[in-house]
Every structure is written in structure tokens, then in C-alpha cells.
Amino acid sequence: MMPLLSVRGLKVTIRTDEGTAQVLDDVGLDLERGRILGVVGESGCGKSTLIRAIMGILPRAGAVERGEIWFEGENLLSFSEAELARDVRSSRIGFIPQDPLLALNPVFKVGSQLLEVMRWHAPSDGTRGSERRKRHVGRLIGLLKRLQVPDPEGALERYPHQFSGGQRQRLLIAAALACSPRLLIADEPTTALDVTTQHQILLLLRELVAELAVSLLFVTHDFGVVAELCDDLCVIYAGQTVESGPVRSILDSPAHPYTRALLACHPDRATSFRGIPGSVPSPLAPPPGCRFAPRCGDVRAICSAGNPPQARAESGAEVRCVQYSDWSADLLVRSHES
């Protein structure tokens, strides 16, 4: 069976005053039904751009140059903006943003905002008018209860600023689930929360994914979160997928030097991120060959010769590094022959 979401060879550029930024170059991922896929990478690696491309909300200066985004058997890149807005976003794909304050309108009550989304995007159940609205209110209250929001009926009558950060994030999870989507996408939704609240929300998300039979694409820069929440993992660096596979095998035996460096920043997987020496290259001028080469402890001459192809590591993960492919040997033989 096809994965619920499959991104293949995605290349995205964004035009800027300084030139064309190669923000994503050959990103791929597979999210199986009912599973949680983590997308991890440092800030600036292209995680949010990947999500925007999937949802069809790239900035005006952005363009998908190449690739495919398959969702429930359809290539989303063939959809018009009107089709994405009407049939995909909110209805089939729910989104949990990083900053709930920016996502909620401060001048409207929470209930009216969430019910408006449901009015347009909730699947039809044969009811209309006040009966339909009553059902929507019932579903929202059920979700808020499940998300442990105190006094769910009263919560619908309050304004966003009357909730704590953790409660607002729960409201947005309810909003993302309100229209019964098949896929939830979350962009670093717990980054601004304290550790205890973050842990409670991750636990709830895990339970809800199982109960509601949705799949979750969860973007984070934090390996602690990955270990706690995810089944599968896609590590991206400078706009490229560098390692992907089941979380357990990657955490037990990380293969790509970037994954290993990221993990070394979390010695006990609970400490805060310390950082890898050096920085993510600008997408305006990515280094030739392997994009991690300027920061890689294992770098060799061949690494700058071209973009390393994906290969399979012993752990079973797909890895983009010359150490795992015959590519370097092939290239050396070919250059020797010519």
C-alpha cells in the first residue's frame, strides 16, 4: 500500500534580492498510515519550507522546481490553489502551528473561530443549519475534554489571551483535529512551552494519533522530542534529506555524520541543544558536493565531487553519504578511466 504522504525529490527555490535561494534540494519522505514521522534538523535547514510546500502555502517568491508530493494517492502539486483551500487544508490536512497566539485572532472568541473553520471544512454528515452547528459544538467540546482543557463549554466563550500558552496549544490541536483530517502536520508546536507542559502535550498527541487513526508529521529541532514521540525519522540538513528510517534504529546507530553530530548535542537526550560547530550554509550559495562537508569530521576529497546519492546503512536507514555507497569508488574508477 502507498504511504499516506510521500514526498519525492522535492526542489524548492525562493527568489530574494540577493539571488535565488536553493531552499530544498532533493527532499524525500514517506509517512505511513497511523504513524508519527519526525522531521528533524537545525534552524534554517528548510523544515518549515517543506511543510509550506506540502500544504501549498509557499511564499509568493517561492516555487517548486521539481518533485512530487503524493497524499492519499493524489499528487498535491497538480491541485489548484482553490482546490487546496477547499478540499485539502483544514479538511484533509490539519495544521498545528508553532505560535498559537499568531494563529488565533485576538478579537474573536475561540469558539466562533473554531466553528467557522468547521462550517467550511468539516465533512458532511447529512445535517444542516442549527443541527449541524450543534454537532460541531459537540465535537469541539469532546476534543477539548480529551485535550484536558478545563471547562470546555466555557472555553469556547473566551478570547485567546485568556488562556495560558499550553492551553492555547491544546486549543489549536483541537482546531487541527476538528474536521477529522487524515494527516496532522505540526511545526515545532511545543518549542515555546516548559518541559512539563511539552511532555503532557506530546503524550496527548501520541494517544490521539492512535485513537483517531490519523498520521502525524512532526517538525522539531529537538532529538529529545523525537525519542519521546516519533516512530520514524527524516533528518534534513541544508535542504536535503540526509538520513531516514525507523527512529529506534537511527537513535541506536546513527549513520550520517550530521545525525551523529546532532545526537552528540543531546548526550542524555534531555539536555537543551548545545549546537554543532559551524553553521548551516546559506541556501543562496550551498557548498558544492555534500552540503555538510564544511562541518563534517569525516570529510574526504571525494565529498565535494558531487551530491552523494542515497544508500542503505547497516541499520536499515537510507543515508546520503559517500561512506555508505559505491558512488565514490565508481567515480574514482570513472575519473581514472577518462
Ligand X SMILES: Nc1ncnc2c1ncn2[C@@H]1O[C@H](COP(=O)(O)OP(=O)(O)O)[C@@H](O)[C@H]1O
Residues found near ligand X in the complex (CB under 6 A): 14, 16, 21, 23, 41, 43-49, 59, 283
Decide: is 321 part of the binding site for ligand SF4 (CB under 6 A).
yes
Decide: is 303 part of the binding site for ligand SF4 (CB under 6 A).
yes
Give just the sign of the alpha carbon dihedral 138, 139, 141, 145: positive
- Closest alpha carbon to 54 in 86, 22, 82, 29: 29
Q: Which residue is nearest to Mg ion (CB)?
A: 48
- Which one of ligand X, Mg ion, ligand SF4, none interacts with residue 38, CB within 5 to 8 A by kind? none
Please identify, using beta-carbon distances, which residue of 188 and 318 lies nearer to Mg ion.
188
Q: Closest approach of Cβ 322 to ligand SF4, in Å?
A: 4
Name which position in 8, 33, 44, 48 contacts Mg ion (CB under 5 A).
48
Decide: is 298 part of the binding site for ligand SF4 (CB under 6 A).
yes
Q: Closest approach of Cβ 93 to ligand SF4, in Å?
A: 33
- Closest alpha carbon to 219 in 20, 22, 38: 38
The residue count for binding ligand SF4 (CB under 6 A) is 12
- Which one of Mg ion, ligand X, ligand SF4, none interacts with residue 200, CB within 5 to 8 A by kind? none
Residue pair 151/141 in contact by the 8 Å Cβ criterion? no
Applying CB under 6 A, the span of 92-100, 151-159, 223-231, 320-328 interacting with ligand SF4 comes to: 320-328
CB atoms within 10 A of CB 170: 24
Q: Closest approach of Cβ 228 to ligand SF4, in Å?
A: 27
Decide: is 290 part of the binding site for ligand SF4 (CB under 6 A).
yes
DSSP secondary structure, 185-209, as one string: EEESTTTTS-HHHHHHHHHHHHHHH
- Return the beta strands (E) in 3-140 as ranges: 5-16, 19-31, 36-40, 62-71, 74-75, 93-96
- Which one of ligand SF4, Mg ion, ligand X, none interacts with residue 59, CB within 5 to 8 A by kind? ligand X
Please identify, using beta-carbon distances, which residue of 262 and 303 lies nearer to ligand SF4.
303
Residues 6+ apart with CB under 8 A from 78: none
- Return the beta strands (E) in the chain as ranges: 5-16, 19-31, 36-40, 62-71, 74-75, 93-96, 183-187, 215-220, 232-237, 240-246, 310-312, 318-320
Decide: is 257 part of the binding site for ligand SF4 (CB under 6 A).
yes
Residues found near Mg ion in the complex (CB under 5 A): 47-48
